[in-house]
Amino acid sequence: MAINSKLSEHKFKKGKFITPFNELTNVAENSWFHCRMPEYIWLGLVIKYYGRDEGLIKCNRLLKKVSEYSSSIYIPRFSDILNLPDKNQLDIYKSFKEIVDMIIFAPLTVIFTYSSYPCFASFFHSELSTEDRIGLINNVITEASHHQADFSTDLRFLVLYYQLLTNKFHMPEETLKQLLEYPTLSHRDEKMRMIRPVLRAMEIARPLDEDNNSAYMDTFWEGVSRLSDCEMFFVQIEPNHADAELYLSKVKSALQYYTEILTSARPLDNKMLVMLGIATYSFKRLLEVAEHDLYQTIAGRGTVRLLVENYIMLKYLLKNEPNHEDIWAEYQYYGIGQYKLIVERYRESGNDLPYSHVMYDYMDLLVGEYKNKEFIDMDTSYFDKKNIREKSLNVGEKELFGLYYDYDSAFEHGLWGAIRESSLLKCNSPSHQFHCVPDIDNQQKLKDVWHDCEETMNKIMLVLKDTYGLPDYFNEGEKSE
């Protein structure tokens, strides 16, 4: 049963969205792949060996034998069988020999070895090579890896069937009829569309005090992972920026037009200077993406984030201009104040950093460029006391912030989601639990950022156009013939 709760169904508490499941304090995650499937691997080996139809029949007979020889097993977990006294184990294994070929369980002796499980390992000893045994186990793990796969659902049916055999599970008569019909139906049968979700939901329901056997899990996963090699893969993502050069030339042409107005007609227009400064900075970040081929890189995502923030800031400055004496000067000296703070920290540290990329002396000149530094405060809060999220809400760009800025910020801050997507390759080996390996050879390329860069830059240029206009011959960046 797939459960995908909506964001609106989460509870927002103290800055955190709490899932509906985590709201229920007595519900704990009990993963099919990591915790439950390894317990039923023995049944999976039977089905894999004989095929579904005969395999389910064989498993039915095996489960009856387990129920006859041990009344203490609530669920047909392999760990519970291994934990039985040797006499009980031998009785069960001998009964198994009457039903299935003993080579079926031989692969498990590579994990549950004689040193720790002498009764099991000696009874099912085989001449199969280690490679063959681990290969057979990996085949079953692969087929059973997804909890909704047909193979997994067959295993989950057997779990419920065993509980019915031992009278440890009860259900409505109509549901019981459907469940008992399950092994006679093909997975393509229309009835299965109703039966399988009900079956999966019932299998996952278990007593809250029915703990996983952690020692068994550790033994199982350590055994299969130690004897298997990594199978690395990465996603091939094609670039998509064919129009980059042409687009950049169009933006540059429009910015040249505005720059000529500023320098020739409005050299002291502080508002225009700030707006063009933000747009030009955005354009230069765009140039870096193109000139250094950053389209499918981590750094490219930083450019998208910057463009989104610049666009939101432009709209915020324009919207809130009437509420300030001179918001454009305030914006400038807020940023200069940040520079001043860095310089003052450097001076007071007493460190000499000749090879630092930060040019402290030059920064100091910029701080005092137009105003005595003693009159410049250093504001450590957000500009206008609002962070970028609050500014996005103020200017009606909540969606742009939520869908792009937050995502790209994860890369700027090195959050785990961004690290996982960009810097770790997936291992395709089920015995390694599909773990990850560092991408030190830089094989994984990210999706091209150019489309989003272009769309956001268009928004910035539209703000300039709405404020200062743009001749018709600049339509789509091309002069009319």
What's residue 15's pLDDT?
A: 67
Alpha-helical runs (H) found in 102-211: 118-123, 130-144, 150-165, 173-181, 192-204
What's residue 229's pLDDT?
A: 76
DSSP 235: -
What's residue 24's pLDDT?
A: 59
What confidence category does residue 392 fall into, taking pLDDT thresholds of 50, 70 and 90? Answer: very high
30 has a pLDDT exceeding 80: no
What's residue 209's pLDDT?
A: 42
Query: Rounded CA gap, 221 and 320, in Å?
Result: 59
Largest Cα separation within the chain, whole Å, is: 100
What's residue 423's pLDDT?
A: 94
DSSP 414: T
34 has a pLDDT exceeding 90: no
Give Cβ neighbours of residue 123 (< 8 Å, ≥ 6 apart): 89, 90, 93
481 has a pLDDT exceeding 50: no
What's residue 428's pLDDT?
A: 76
What's residue 57's pLDDT?
A: 96
Mean pLDDT of the chain: 89
What's residue 295's pLDDT?
A: 97
Residue 62: CB atoms within 10 Å = 22
CB 213 within 8 A of CB 40: no
479 has a pLDDT exceeding 70: no
Per residue in 194-233, pLDDT tens?
999 988 888 876 554 456 688 998 899 888 888 777 777 6
What's residue 14's pLDDT?
A: 66
What's residue 2's pLDDT?
A: 44
The domain spans of the chain are 32-228, 244-324+387-477
What's residue 173's pLDDT?
A: 85
Give Cβ neighbours of residue 447 (< 8 Å, ≥ 6 apart): 237, 296
Query: Rounded CA gap, 129 and 110, in Å?
Result: 9
What's residue 231's pLDDT?
A: 72
Helices 150-165 and 52-69: crossing angle, nearest 10°?
A: 30
What's residue 359's pLDDT?
A: 93
What's residue 1's pLDDT?
A: 37
Angle at 413 between CA 302 and CA 407, to 5 degrees: 60
User: Among 137-151, 196-210, 238-252, 368-382, where is mean pLDDT lowest?
Assistant: 196-210
Please identify which residue in the block is written with the tokens 């250093």. 378
Per residue in 416-438, pLDDT tens?
999 999 999 887 777 777 778 88
269 has a pLDDT exceeding 90: yes
Mean of the pLDDT values across residues 450-472? Answer: 96
Residue 166: CB atoms within 10 Å = 18
What's residue 226's pLDDT?
A: 83
- Tokens read off for 40: 């039923």
- Tokens read off for 481: 């013939």
Mean of the pLDDT values across residues 89-107? Answer: 95
Query: Rounded CA gap, 24 and 244, in Å?
Result: 51
What's residue 17's pLDDT?
A: 66
Mean of the pLDDT values across residues 265-274? Answer: 95
pLDDT top residue among 444 and 168: 444
User: Among 53-67, 168-182, 325-339, where is mean pLDDT lowest?
Assistant: 168-182
Mean of the pLDDT values across residues 124-128? Answer: 91
Query: Rounded CA gap, 57 and 424, in Å?
Result: 43
What confidence category does residue 53 fall into, taking pLDDT thresholds of 50, 70 and 90? Answer: very high
CB 58 within 8 A of CB 100: yes
Query: Rounded CA gap, 413 and 40, in Å?
Result: 42
474 has a pLDDT exceeding 70: yes
pLDDT top residue among 172 and 154: 154
CB 156 within 8 A of CB 200: yes
Query: Rounded CA gap, 169 and 166, in Å?
Result: 8
What's residue 86's pLDDT?
A: 94
Alpha-helical runs (H) found in 243-400: 244-264, 270-291, 298-320, 327-349, 360-367, 388-394, 398-400
242 has a pLDDT exceeding 80: yes
% of residues, the chain, pLDDT over 70? 91
User: Among 5-9, 38-42, 262-266, where is mean pLDDT lowest?
Assistant: 5-9
DSSP 401: I
What's residue 480's pLDDT?
A: 36
H/E element holding 16?
Answer: strand 16-18
Per residue in 291-321, pLDDT tens?
999 999 999 999 999 999 999 999 999 999 9
Per residue in 318-366, pLDDT tens?
999 999 999 999 999 999 999 999 999 999 998 889 999 999 999 999 9
- Tokens read off for 247: 């687009």
Query: CA distances (Å), 61 to each of 45, 56, 57, 99, 106, in order?
Result: 15, 9, 7, 7, 19
Per residue in 70-79, pLDDT tens?
778 889 999 9
Strand partners, 424: 438
